[in-house]
Structure 1
Amino acid sequence: MRNPLITVMAAAALLLSACGTPAAGTDPTPSTPGGQDGAAIHFAAAASLTDVAPELTRAYAEETGDTTRIDINLGASSKLVQQANSGQQPDVLITADTQAPEALEDPTAFEPPIDLVSNTLVLAVPATSKITAADQLPEAGAVALCAPAVPCGRAANTYLDHQGFSLNTVSEEDNVRAVLTKVTAGQVDAGFVYATDVAAAGDQVRAIDLTGLDANIYPLLVATDAAEPAQDFARWLQGDAAMKLLNDAGFSAP
């Protein structure tokens, strides 16, 4: 004969399981990204900050003790602005020139930009290249540069127009790091990148200065509705500790 007590206990266990009672050894509290309030800082930055952006976020956490997670989104400035226009607005945005943010459909979504750092466009060539000056560009077989809508592409085309150079074969890339990859892989004879990119490539490439070209100013934009952790991070980016890391990476004062 079945024990009535056992039957009742089994039915109760089934009922509790159906109601979603967690199994033994599991955490009933859903995991929450970011700090104690579950928030995360969405940090979008131009591709030329690929190496230094993670260093900045680590240094910020170590110096301030802020445990808020910082999600880094790196890419061409034009793409980052397009993402903001499509509803993927970051809390903190750094573009590679002051023209990129002009394409924001809602400029009021961000506080007025602050000039953070500057970067200089250079011509990168493989370390073993025979090219020693920019005026040898017309003789080069293939040259890589960013697409015209990207800050590094705008700067490169401005330089080429001023010099009146006509290139043999042009490879247009989505962002400056794609250009650098073409150069380091030996797929092109030269590429227009930033001084910081050449520094990141080490002894794989050489930089050739481009005369008569103004440096790119990198503006820092903070969303008007950014939470306090994001605002704190943006203020820290303007401080001495962040500036040292940016200077070490090859960026200069604006």
Structure 2
Amino acid sequence: MTRSPLPLRLSAIAATALAAALALTACSGAAPAATPTPTAASSTASGELTVFAAASLSQAFDKISTAFEAENPKVHVDPITYDGSSTLATQIIEGASVDVFASADQKNMDKVAQAGLAGDAPVFTTNVLQIAVAPGNPLKVEDLASLADPGLKVVLCAPAVPCGNAAKTLLDAAKVTVTPASEEQNVTAVLAKVKAGEADAGLVYATDVKAAGSAVTGIAIAGADKATNKYPITVLKASKNAEAATAFQAFVLSDKGQKILRELGFGGA
């Protein structure tokens, strides 16, 4: 029986191994390992975050910011500034340093956009008005027409504020004229006057009535959906922490953010 010389067999093995190594190297060069897609769990967002939000969002955004920080422990959301959207828009246009702006209407977001300061501003939720009265409705307020009673002390939001603009739309549609005892710069102030007994009735958001619990009674308004307020949110172009701001905006739009809003009575976008 003929045997192959040992050196020849070793050479063949070495050649095979070398060919395999070269093939592996070629494959690696042609298809480099893919970079993992960033997820919420692997977010690199960090630092301080400044948020301006409509007064009607106070309860919702306090909860959302807490949940957001839990998922992004390197980010600290500064105490959120809540006020009428028109007031906040003016402050931003005048130079306030803000990362995120959430408005209670499109009109005031448009003001910021027209000033060249807003990025994309998707709508993230909606809201409608109700009539807020003292617990149990002792004065028997029934509808918008009831508010025309000169003996009734009614408080509204100022027309420039989203809740005031929505109130005007509904009152005009119902052909009801109301002479308000005062016009407030945000919906929180209207609700506060009703709760304190300084007003017999006020037009506020359904979410404010729900948040107030037993402190007020809410009266649904027929056709309230004709003046539905849509809430947009934007990352300001001058944001000092665009990464964290974008992550916050995404969280508000996410299922988790939307769940918080729904639980508090806000409508779908």
Same fold (TM over 0.5): yes
1:235 alignment counterpart: 250
Q: Distance in 1 between matches of 2:97 and 2:72?
A: 25
Alignment pair present for 1:219 and 2:236: no
1:4 alignment counterpart: none
Identity percentage over the alignment?
Answer: 36
Between stretches 213-222 and 177-186, larger displacement belongs to: 213-222
Assess, with a 3 A threshold, how the Cα gap between structure 1 residues 54 and 93 changes in structure 2: closer, same or farther.
same
Between stretches 223-232 and 177-186, larger displacement belongs to: 223-232
1:183 alignment counterpart: 194
Partners of 1:40 and 1:71 within 8 A in 2: no
Counterpart amino acid of 1:209?
A
- Structure with more of its chain in helix, by fraction: 2
How many angstroms does 1:110 deviate by? Answer: 1.6
Partners of 2:49 and 2:75 within 8 A in 1: no
Larger Rg: 2
Secondary structure in structure 1 of the residue aligned to 2:123: strand
How many angstroms does 1:104 deviate by? Answer: 2.2
Alignment of 1:108-147 (within 5 A): 108-129=116-137, 130-139=140-149, 141-147=152-158
Partners of 2:125 and 2:231 within 8 A in 1: yes
Structure 1: stretches of 5+ with no match in the other structure: 1-35
Between stretches 213-222 and 149-158, larger displacement belongs to: 213-222
Partners of 1:41 and 1:69 within 8 A in 2: yes
Assess, with a 3 A threshold, how the Cα gap between structure 1 residues 105 and 37 changes in structure 2: closer, same or farther.
closer
Q: Distance in 1 between matches of 2:132 and 2:72?
A: 37
How many angstroms does 1:214 deviate by? Answer: 2.8
Q: Deviations over 1:95-120 (max 9, x none)?
A: 01111122227543221210100011
TM-score, with length taken from structure 1: 0.80
Paired residue total = 219
Structure 2: stretches of 5+ with no match in the other structure: 1-43
1:64 alignment counterpart: 72
Alignment of 1:1-254 (within 5 A): 39-104=47-112, 106-129=114-137, 130-139=140-149, 141-212=152-223, 213-226=226-239, 227-254=242-269
